[in-house]
Amino acid sequence: MSLPKENARVLGGRRVDQRTADHAHCIRRPPAFQEYGSDLLCLESVRLMSLGERGLLATMRWYVWTNDSLPRDLKDMARVLGLDAHDVETNYTGRVSQFFKSNPDDPLRLICPELRAQMQRMMERRRKQADGGKYGARQRREKRNQAISNLEVNNEVDHQVLEKSREEQNRTEPVYRNGDMTGEFVKDMGGPSEFEKAAARRGNGAAHA
């Protein structure tokens, strides 16, 4: 049976009903529906109901909220509701049946249009909240990853600066040459040391003498 466009969703490449899609995405259905006693009790049809009719109406609404629909056949209805078949047949009057209609997806089942509309509104709100939560989590995750990336870049820059500083320091610090412990040293700059310059001047003076 094809699903109505407004009630179908694509999951894993195939069309499924909204209930299946919500379950797959872990969107929990609301456990309770909103009902104002004054709204029901002010209806003439409800006022005219017997105690049995009111009980059957309430039980059918509870079942539909949990299962979306219920069997149209009264015997099957009695079985799923856990009621006596004779009681269901007796109390399922026009005053009760007016709250239900055939399921457009399955004529053999009944739905309550009022509760279906309420369920759709609640589930749509929950889907938006779930999408918003996922978006917020994704934004926080991206910010955290960006912060970690920035920290790694800063650490790398600091490391490079430190290495460069060490290299410059090594080039300017005096180092002893050939294990000479007399104090002779050279700078690692490619030119002669002061000691070498003084020795050269002494050598030149001796030559002129």
Q: What single string gives the DSSP state of each residue in the chain?
A: -PPPGGGEEEETTEEEEHHHHHHHTT-PPPS-----HHHHHTSHHHHT--HHHHHHHHHHHHHHHHHS-EESSHHHHHHHHT--HHHHHHH--HHHHTT-EEETTEEEEEE-HHHHHHHHHHHHHHHHHHHHHHHHHHHHHHHHHHHHHHHHHHHHHHHHHHHHHHHHHHHHS-EESTT--SS-EE-TTSS--HHHHHHHHHHHHHHH-
Per-residue tens of pLDDT for the chain, all 209 residues: 344 444 555 444 554 455 555 554 567 888 888 888 888 889 999 999 999 999 999 999 999 999 999 999 999 999 999 999 999 999 999 999 999 999 999 999 999 999 999 999 989 888 888 777 666 667 777 777 777 777 776 777 667 767 777 777 766 655 555 555 444 444 455 556 666 677 677 766 656 55
Domain positions in the chain are: 174-208
pTM of the model: 0.53
